[in-house]
């Protein structure tokens, strides 16, 4: 399929077509930063970053209110990652989009997210405004993730996360707080009882949160 056919596909499924759709595809290609002549090209003729722009245009053509981005930059070179992140950031503002970003890359999360939810073994263990979480993580798992970010300088060594044990099987999760076998702050209570949610705007599940 050509780029044009790929971007138009969701609308064709809805029964739309014709010149109006064709010009909308070209307009959208421009909005996501694709040179217009590339609408006639095939994916094999595009770079990784251009293909990602096609995927974003295809997701936007139906004018969604919510865009779900699952690791949107993980397959891209570092130099292209920042271009795609800036594009998503601008689209979010221009189109007033709600964006759900799923990522292991905390730098990406920090750049894009207004609100962050940290998940461990399928459960949200901490959630709150991005700035709060990055400046004052209350849950030990969030704290370990933040410690694990590689500093951007030559010769930097891999940071220590300070976690015990291996990642447990989600099919047979640990009792109580599921993070307790790995948590440096765990006490006997943690293995017995799942902590309730605490906080209001900044919510966390921990018996012994960080201050
Ligand atoms: S409840 Fe206990 S084991 Fe779980 S994160 Fe808090 S301190 Fe660690």
Distance (angstroms) between ligand 1 centre and the Cα of 176 equals 9
Distance of CA 144 to the CA centre of its chain: 18
Amino acid 192: pLDDT = 97
Ligand 1 atom closest to Cα of residue 141? 5
**Domain segments of the chain: what residues?**
1-62, 64-113, 115-151+160-211
Residue 45 has pLDDT above 80, yes or no: yes
Distance of CA 187 to the CA centre of its chain: 32
Q: List the single range of 55-69, 90-104, 154-168 with lowest mean pLDDT.
A: 154-168
Distance (angstroms) between ligand 1 centre and the Cα of 199 equals 16
Task: Identify the residue whose C-alpha is closest to ligand 1 atom 6.
Answer: 206
Residue 194 has pLDDT above 90, yes or no: yes
Distance (angstroms) between ligand 1 centre and the Cα of 181 equals 9
Give the other-Cβ count within 10 Å of 45's Cβ: 12
Write phi, then psi, for 112 (nearest 5 degrees). -105, -30
H or E stretch covering 135: helix 130-135
CA distances (Å), origin 74, targets 22, 77, 80, 81, 106: 30, 8, 11, 8, 12
Q: List the single range of 32-36, 58-62, 201-205 with lowest mean pLDDT.
A: 32-36
57 by DSSP, 3-state: which?
helix
Distance (angstroms) between ligand 1 centre and the Cα of 36 equals 53
Percent above pLDDT 70 for the chain: 100
pTM of the model: 0.84
Residues with CB under 6 A from ligand 1: 139-140, 177, 179-180, 183, 185-186, 190, 195, 206-208
Query: Per-residue confidence at 8, pLDDT binned at 50, 70, 90?
Result: very high
Amino acid 211: pLDDT = 86
Query: 119 forms bridges with which residues in the sheet?
Result: 124
Amino acid 197: pLDDT = 94
Burial class, 53, CB count within 10 angstroms (exposed 0-12 / middle 13-18 / buried 19+): buried
Amino acid 58: pLDDT = 96
């Amino acid at each position: 399929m050509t780029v044009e056919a790929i971007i138009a596909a969701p609308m064709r499924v809805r029964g739309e077509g014709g010149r109006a759709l064709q010009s909308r595809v070209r307009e959208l290609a421009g909005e996501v930063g694709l040179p217009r002549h590339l609408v006639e090209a095939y994916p094999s003729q595009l770079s990784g970053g251009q293909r990602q722009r096609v995927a974003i245009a295809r997701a936007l053509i139906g004018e969604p209110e919510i865009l779900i981005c699952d690791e949107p930059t993980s397959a891209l070179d570092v130099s292209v990652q920042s271009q795609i992140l800036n594009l998503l950031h601008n689209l979010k503002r221009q189109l007033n989009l709600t964006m759900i970003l799923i990522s292991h890359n905390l730098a990406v999360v920090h750049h894009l997210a207004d609100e962050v939810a940290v998940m461990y073994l399928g459960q949200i263990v901490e959630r709150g405004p991005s700035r709060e979480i990055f400046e004052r993580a209350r849950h030990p798992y969030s704290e370990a993730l933040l410690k694990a970010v590689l500093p951007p300088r030559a010769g930097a060594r891999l940071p220590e996360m300070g976690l015990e044990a291996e990642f447990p099987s989600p099919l047979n999760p640990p009792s109580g707080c599921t993070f307790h076998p790995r948590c440096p702050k765990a006490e006997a209570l943690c293995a017995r009882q799942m902590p309730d949610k605490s906080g209001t705007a900044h919510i966390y599940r921990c018996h012994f949160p960080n201050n």
